[in-house]
Structure 1
Amino acid sequence: MNSDTNSRDTANVVSTHSVFGAPCWVSLTSRDVPATEKFYSAVLGWKWRTGKLGDHFRIALADGVPVAGIAGVAVLWQMAVAWTPYFAVSDADAAASRARERGGTVAVGPLSFPPGRAALLADRHGATFGIWEGELFTDWEAWRKAAPAFVRLHTRDAFDAAIFYGEVLEWASEKPGCCEVRYEANEVVLRSQGTVVARISSGALEAAPDPTIRPHWQIHFSVSDVAAGVEAAQHHGGTVLMQNTDEARLRDPDGAQFTITSRAEH
């Protein structure tokens, strides 16, 4: 998890104990950090600052709010170029253990990254996600408004995935403040504090699991003008994979996929 503790507003520090189970950060691995910065500045209007972990790590700012981390370690650590969502947990070690027990994989960690602990995991169908325990880097509500609209898991079996993540991340538990899970319009929908923060999709209710789907988490960033975002992406070397009036799925020049969604639609 890419962090910059200097960017936190200490008057509004929130811990993962208060928003556990919900997405709380997104991170991108990159081969070329300057090119990545230029692309996302053009498409999403982000500004940048150096992360506390060194020159390979950068923090994206939207209206001054830290919203995402960029790690220029794809070549150094032989990692795939991809966006990864991080979910808040009250205990990273316990959550990692629950993932292993349910057929998931712990790829990295949990490791200490003050002011917290992080781990990189994969669910039992191979979709990569992260967990974070500790203080959040900015007020969660401010991050939610300035950062991703939501994250969506594309998988082969939404119900099986919901059971896995529900048990690992303590969704729909008896703990006060846990996330609420419902099935709506052929998707599993996750809400935190009444706000939709994640969706899990695998097709129609009566459809059999699709073996051709490569399970993955897709990050949806809210924008005021989808068409303008698409034009900026194409102008700066990106690829349009899907586009309609309200959203577009894009690939950045490095190969990472993400979606831009109309701010009025999420």
Structure 2
Amino acid sequence: MGMSTSEVFGAPCWVSLMARDLQVARRFYGAVLGWDFRTDPLDEGFLGAEVAGVPVAGMRALAPDQAVPVAWTPYFAVDDADVAADRIRERCGTVAVGPVSFASGGRGALAADRDGAAFGIWEGTVEADWRVGSGHAPAWLELRTRDAFEAAIFYGEVLEWATGRPGACEVSYEDDQVVLRQDGEPVARLNGGAEDAAAPAPHARPRWNVHFRVPDLDRAVATAEAFGGSAVSAVASNDTERWVTLRDPEQALLTLTSPRP
């Protein structure tokens, strides 16, 4: 059952992995996150990840000549992909691919904000039950950026956050970070302090970071290492969660998080 992006405009509506080798990604994420996969007869370069038959994420094969890094990318719902792409360009962001039409009937584009963090926009139908923080969807999205306020203004203007339009996502400032809420529930955080786009360590550069929940963090990290992944940070924690950032076998960054025992 799908719903229109105009109903959830501005909110994260999907996450997708751009990968060089879909079979490597399939083995790694199937083992680490327990995902099953389906192919799309209309789109041979796409793999859909599911848990118990519920879609959770997508994976797309990069063409050999595409100079796009292997990465997890969040997509945000928009009424009109062309209008949103124009807003991105007007605010000194870049539109790398699109907007293009897909066989499913939707239109999407891959973009980057002013600091170079990649994100996507999507116009069309979205999974009605897919929402960050609930079910098997990612637990959290986090933007690591140089200036969280500047980034909130950029995304707010592009995606119509906090505009007073009925259904708009709300933005608040809590504990030195900007928090994005959809219907009152937190779905993303924007944190400042990242280095510039030329930082030697890729995980220190501005980027969107997707947090996936696992039942047992230590076991998931051990599985990730057994399937070609590696940790790039120490395990961090707060009162309720423990998390660690990893690279998958093709160097895409992701964060695993689990409840504290």
TM-score after normalising by structure 1 = 0.88
Choose the corresponding residue for 2:172, options 178, 182, 191: 182
Q: How many residues align?
A: 249
Residue identity opposite 1:66 in structure 2: P
Distance 1:141 1:129 in 2: 17
Choose the corresponding residue for 2:212, options 221, 230, 254: 221
Q: RMSD value over aligned CA atoms?
A: 1.9
Residue 18 (structure 1) aligned with residue 7 (structure 2):
yes
Distance 1:262 1:82 in 2: 22
Choose the corresponding residue for 1:235, options 189, 204, 226: 226
Residue 155 (structure 1) aligned with residue 126 (structure 2):
no
Work out whether residues 13 and 131 of structure 2, in 8 Å CA contact, stay in contact via their aligned partners in 1.
Answer: no
Cα gap change, 1:119 to 1:153, in 2 (>3 Å): same
Residue identity opposite 2:122 in structure 1: W
Gaps of 5+ in 1: 1-8, 204-208
SS at structure 2 position matched to 1:190 = strand
Give the ranges of 4+ consecutive aligned residues of structure 1 lying more than 3 Å apart after TM superposition.
Answer: 140-144, 209-213
**Partner residue in 1 for 2:255:** 259
Distance 2:16 2:77 in 1: 14
Work out whether residues 84 and 128 of structure 1, in 8 Å CA contact, stay in contact via their aligned partners in 2.
Answer: yes
**Partner residue in 2 for 1:173:** 163
Residue identity opposite 1:236 in structure 2: F
Note the 1:39-58 alignment, pairs <5 A. 39-58=28-47
Distance 1:142 1:210 in 2: 26
Distance 1:27 1:143 in 2: 16
Gaps of 5+ in 2: none
Distance 1:39 1:120 in 2: 24
Work out whether residues 66 and 143 of structure 1, in 8 Å CA contact, stay in contact via their aligned partners in 2.
Answer: no
Q: Give how far 1:53 is off.
A: 4.2
Distance 2:78 2:157 in 1: 12
TM-score after normalising by structure 2 = 0.89
Residue identity opposite 2:188 in structure 1: A
Distance 1:52 1:138 in 2: 22
Q: Give how far 1:166 is off.
A: 0.3
**Partner residue in 2 for 1:36:** 25
Distance 2:43 2:133 in 1: 23
Residue identity opposite 2:26 in structure 1: E
Note the 1:68-217 alignment, pairs <5 A. 68-73=57-62, 75-113=64-102, 114-141=104-131, 144-203=134-193, 210-211=195-196, 212=199, 213-217=204-208
Work out whether residues 89 and 169 of structure 1, in 8 Å CA contact, stay in contact via their aligned partners in 2.
Answer: yes
Q: Which moved more, 1:101-110 or 1:162-171?
A: 101-110
Q: Give how far 1:263 is off.
A: 5.0
Distance 2:146 2:209 in 1: 14
Work out whether residues 120 and 128 of structure 1, in 8 Å CA contact, stay in contact via their aligned partners in 2.
Answer: yes
SS at structure 2 position matched to 1:229 = helix
